[in-house]
Amino acid sequence: MANDCTFRKACATDDVARIAKYLHLTDPYIYPVVCPDPEDGDWVRLIEACLAAKDNFYSLEHLSVALADGKIVGAACVVPCGKKLAFSEGLTLPDAIKAGVARVVAGYFGPLAEENAGLSGYNLINICVDEAYRGRGVGAAFMAHLLSLYGDKEIHLDVVADNAAAIHTYEKCGFAVTREYLGFSGGDDPLPCLHMVKPAKM
């Protein structure tokens, strides 16, 4: 199945709703705080505004897509380290999601922006493949594509500590755990997480 997929950088003519859906589905803790439905119109409009913004985590140049059967079936976001990025700052937000956005900025994107500014290399902050295409090698091929684009420098990522399957996959790709920390759970209890790093390809 992976041989039937292609991977490339996102472009302005891509289906924003599908990109927004896969960014949302990457993490069951963060994005549902903004709105529960990954296909909600307010969420799609927020991501559309992010794509067009400069120095945004979800600026268009940071995104890659997986394609199969003539449609986008996955999305990934890799941001450059060493610079301060934003999520919603400067954007006009629908009233229905303002409170949720403020919570994820305070609990997740704000700390991520501070950390990212002090790192070197790249930071893989999202990768998701449509459920219908999982278990067919598409995710592994997508990761291999990203490593081919960004592997000349070290790559960082964060993962929930109890996500054994994802951790195993990342370890197979050359990532190693460098620290444990308590991250944003979307609720009152902090979430045990791991920071992983893949060294630059020599």
The CATH number covering residue 105 comes to: 3.40.630.30
pLDDT digits (tens, 9 = 90+) for 16-25: 999 999 999 9
Number of domains in the chain: 1
* Inside any domain, residue 11: yes
Q: Is residue 178 part of a domain?
A: no
Residue with tokens 């956005």: 101
Band of the pLDDT at 136, cuts 50, 70, 90?
A: confident
Q: Is the pTM of this model over 0.85?
A: yes
- Beta strand segments in the chain, E: 6-9, 63-68, 71-80, 122-129, 155-160, 176-183, 191-198
In a domain, 198, yes or no: no
N- to C-terminal Cα separation, the chain = 30
Q: Does residue 171 belong to any structural domain of this protein?
A: no
72, part of any domain = yes
Q: Element (H or E) spanning 70, and its range?
A: none
In a domain, 43, yes or no: yes
Does residue 119 lie in a domain region?
yes
Which pLDDT tens digit goes with each residue over 48-75? 999 999 999 999 999 999 999 999 999 9
Q: Is 1's pLDDT higher than 60?
A: no
Range of the domain at 11: 2-150
Report if residue 62 sits inside a domain: yes
